[in-house]
Structure 1
């Protein structure tokens, strides 16, 4: 799935590069590049890339924070979690963020963000 997301980033005109140490990921708008820290597990790498794609999508400047971070988190959650896969996983595991994250291959933070966006989505 990471390769697919890298391909998506590249199709949008962004370069994806890797770095050692420092932040888990960064959007560098001046060079249309997203950098990812080497050594993170697959779920963290995937979610960091999706988050930074959110910053790129919205044209956020360097040093973003607050509302821009929340918006990028929401972008990543919508990009990575399909409603049908979430519903199937929730029927099996309940609404437990860590169990759902493990099942869906994302971070607990992305699941919690998705849940906040979809409160009562399954209510009858």
Structure 2
């Protein structure tokens, strides 16, 4: 998934910075159509944060830190980064080990856990 292309399609610029609050690795500024990402993140973390912030851009979130909006952005990121087929293939290779699946898919463990939470709710309906 080309996250930079998605940002471009959304009309959002992405910039790296050292000037974020120490508690945050990324931030979406709706009024500027700008995603800020902390400089120096490893590839997986950068990709995860960018996908999360794209979720805020998709939903046009203007508020920072609202737990409901953060959860929604996490869910958006997990669906963006993991397809059902890719998850099945990784699980086939590694069994039900979330850390190994995350490594195989090139995402963080939190992304896998969020994806599994979404998928398990769909199966129980």
- Common fold: TM-score over 0.5: yes
Structure 1: where are the runs of 5+ without partners?
none
Give SS of 1:118's match.
helix
- Indicate conservation of the 8 Å contact 1:28/1:62, yes or no: no
Name which of structure 1's ranges 80-89 and 113-122 shifts more when overlaid on structure 2.
Answer: 113-122
**What's the Cα RMSD here?**
1.8
The 5 Å alignment of 1:1-124 reads 4-22=2-20, 23-119=24-120
Quickly say closer, same or farther: Cα 1:12–1:66, change in 2 above 3 A. same
Verify the 8 A CA contact 2:10 2:58 in the aligned structure 1.
no
Question: How many Å separate the matches in 2 of 1:122 and 1:31?
Answer: 39
Residues 26/86 of structure 1: CA separation in 2 closer, same or farther (3 Å cut): same
CA distance in 2, matches of 1:88, 1:19: 36
The question of whether the paired residues in 1 share the 8 Å contact of 2:10 and 2:57 is answered with no
**Structure 1, 30-39 or 56-65: larger mean CA deviation:** 56-65
Mapped to 2, the partners of 1:99 and 1:122 lie a distance apart of 23
- The alpha-carbon deviation at position 105 of structure 1 amounts to 0.2
Q: Distance in 2 between matches of 1:60 and 1:87?
A: 32
Equivalents in 2 of 1:70, 1:49: separation in Å?
A: 15
User: CA deviation digits over 1:39-79, x for unaligned, max 9?
Assistant: 10111000100000001111111323211011000000000
Question: Which stretches in structure 2 are left out of the alignment for 5+ residues?
Answer: none
What CA distance in whole angstroms lies between the structure 2 residues aligned with 1:42 and 1:91?
24
Q: Which runs of at least 4 in structure 1 moved beyond 4 Å after TM superposition?
A: 120-123
